[in-house]
Amino acid sequence: MKSVTFKKYGSSEVLEISEVANPVVAENQVLVRVKAVSLNPADWHFMRGVPYLVRVQSGLLKPKSGRFGVDLAGVVEAVGSKVSEFKVGDEVFGQSRGALSEFAVATEKSLAIKPSNLDFVQAASVPMAGFTAIQALRNKAGLKDGQSVLIVGASGGVGTFAVQIARVFGASVTGVCSTGNLELVRSIGANRLIDYTKEDFSSSFESYDVIVQTAGNYSLKQLRKVLSSDGTLVVAGDSSGVKAVFGMRFIFRIIKSLVITKFSNQKVPPFLAKSSKQDLVTLAKLIESTEIKPVIDRTYSMAQVAEAVAYLEAGHARGKVVITI
Ligand SMILES: NC(=O)c1ccc[n+]([C@@H]2O[C@H](COP(=O)([O-])OP(=O)(O)OC[C@H]3O[C@@H](n4cnc5c(N)ncnc54)[C@H](OP(=O)(O)O)[C@@H]3O)[C@@H](O)[C@H]2O)c1
């Protein structure tokens, strides 16, 4: 089968379409004929091997597996003997390492039935960005009805889910984005908008109960200035991009966050989104009840994967970037 692979770390030029053996489905696994795979910044972090910290998992000098992509949607092609939840022909979405291939294997707990009102492209866009948004707002910030939320990076892959999910929780949402994305962020439910090209929210007198940062290069000090005295700041990511090779900013931030959380009423919990079957099902329900809807920026073919990754790396995606198989 065809699969996108990389033999060395580097820019998107290292990606190639290789012929690899079809995966064999183990007794507790599901074989999926992949229809679409969405890209996430994590994909290019592993492709570049930066920050270097990721190499602890992916291989010090060269990639151990060299398989690419995680978030997928497709059709069940075969199931292992111990699989009870899925059958051949089911339309599913979820996660599998090396998903950007004609076929992928996944465990039952990393898949769910695709929401019936989404096509494969939309469904593939959900897992990682959706997990990040819901886990940041619900698990880390404990978002409650009536609270005010600032989403920094409201037009990106995570941000477009975060704006909508925060509204589902009954929050009043302020989205930070650039001029060209104001209408998009308004259309997905933001109550207020801040155009970061014209206004620096961090020097305003507003304060928010919850802040989720997904983009921009704001310091913790700047963000805490507009966080209420007992508010929660969740830093999911920023715009340091490919330049952050040593990840020192990330490490210092975690240390500072722990100190702030210990010695002030403001909370800055460390955050890393996790794959979760329960959250996949929750997201599917929110989508089927039309409370949230994926925002798709661009789709590319498998042959255009290098172009797609370079586009995402530039940091200006409006919603999600998806590869169709
Ligand atoms: N901690 C975790 O577990 C976890 C999980 C998933 C993702 N992440 C991280 O979260 C971050 C966001 O991921 P993503 O998929 O949403 O990335 P993305 O789709 O590439 O984000 C791009 C968006 O950021 C916006 N943006 C850039 N600079 C901005 C600024 N100064 N203020 C406001 N918006 C700005 C861009 O809008 P313009 O074009 O208008 O600038 C664009 O819409 C990444 O750093 C990723 O690594 C972390």
Decide if 2-126+294-324 and 128-263 have a common fold. no
Summarised one tens digit per residue, pLDDT across range 162-179 is 999 999 999 999 999 999
Q: For residue 199, what are its two tokens?
A: 């206004």
Task: Give pLDDT, residue 249.
Answer: 77
pLDDT tens sequence across 27-75: 999 999 999 999 999 999 999 999 998 999 999 999 999 999 999 999 9
Residue 4 has a pLDDT of 98
Q: How far apart, in whole angstroms, are the C-alpha atoms of residue 120 and residue 34?
A: 9
CATH 1.10.645.10 assigned to domain 128-263? The reply is no
Written as one letter, the residue type at 224 is R
Does the beta carbon of 177 lie inside 6 Å of ligand 1? yes
**Distance, CA of 162 to CA of 173 (rounded, Å):** 9
Domain 2-126+294-324: top CATH class: alpha beta
Distance 196 CA to ligand 1 centre (A): 14
Burial 137-150 (b: 16+ CB within 10 A, else e): bbbbbebeeebbbb
User: What percentage of the chain has pLDDT greater than the value 90?
Assistant: 93
Mean pLDDT, range 197-216, rounded to an integer: 97
Q: Is the CB of 127 under 6 A from ligand 1?
A: no
pLDDT band at 250 (very low <50, low <70, confident <90, very high): confident
- Is the Cβ–Cβ distance between 320 and 161 less than 8 Å? no
In this model, does residue 224 exceed pLDDT 80? Answer: yes
Domain boundaries, the chain: 2-126+294-324, 128-263
Q: pLDDT category, 77, cuts 50, 70, 90?
A: very high
What are the pLDDT digits (tens) for 267-312?
A: 999 999 999 999 999 999 999 999 999 999 999 999 999 999 999 9
Alpha-carbon gap, residue 128 to 40, rounded angstroms: 7
- Of 247, 244, 219, 252, residue with least CA distance to 313: 244
Tell whether ligand 1 has an atom less than 6 A from the beta carbon of residue 160: no
pLDDT for the residue 59:
95
CA of 84 to the centre of ligand 1 (A): 37
For residue 255, count CB atoms less than 10 angstroms from its CB and return exposed for 0-12, middle for 13-18, buried for 19 or more: exposed
Confirm or reject: Cβ of 30 under 6 Å from ligand 1: no
